[in-house]
Amino acid sequence: MPRNIKLVVAYDGTEFHGWQSQPELRTVQGVLEQAARRVTRHQVDLIGSGRTDAGVHAAGQVANFVTECPIPEEKLLGALGARLPKDVTLVAVGDVALEFHATRSATSKLYRYRVYNAPGRPVRQQRQNYCYHFWHPLDIDAMRAAAESLIGTHDFASFAGTGSERETTIRTVMRCAIQRRYDEVLFDLEGGGFLYNQVRNMVGTLIEVGRGRWPPQQVAEILVRRDRSAAGPTAPARGLCLQWVRYPARLLRPTGVTAESGLRIAD
| CA–CA distance, 168 with 171 (Å, rounded to integer) | 8
CB burial of 165-181 (b: ≥16 within 10 Å; e: otherwise) equals: eeeebebebeebebeee
Set 12, 45, 53, 155: catalytic member: 53
DSSP 161: P
Residue 53 annotated among the catalytic residues of the structure: yes
| CA–CA distance, 222 with 232 (Å, rounded to integer) | 9
Look up residue 151 and give its amino acid: I
Is residue 109 classed exposed, middle or buried when 0-12, 13-18 and 19+ CB atoms within 10 A define those classes? buried
CB 2 within 8 A of CB 48: no
| CA–CA distance, 159 with 172 (Å, rounded to integer) | 13
- In the three-class reduction of DSSP (H, G, I as helix; E, B as strand; rest coil), residue 218 is classed as helix
Question: In whole angstroms, how far apart are CA 175 and each of 42, 110, 163, 199, 242?
Answer: 41, 9, 26, 12, 14
Which residues are tagged catalytic? 53
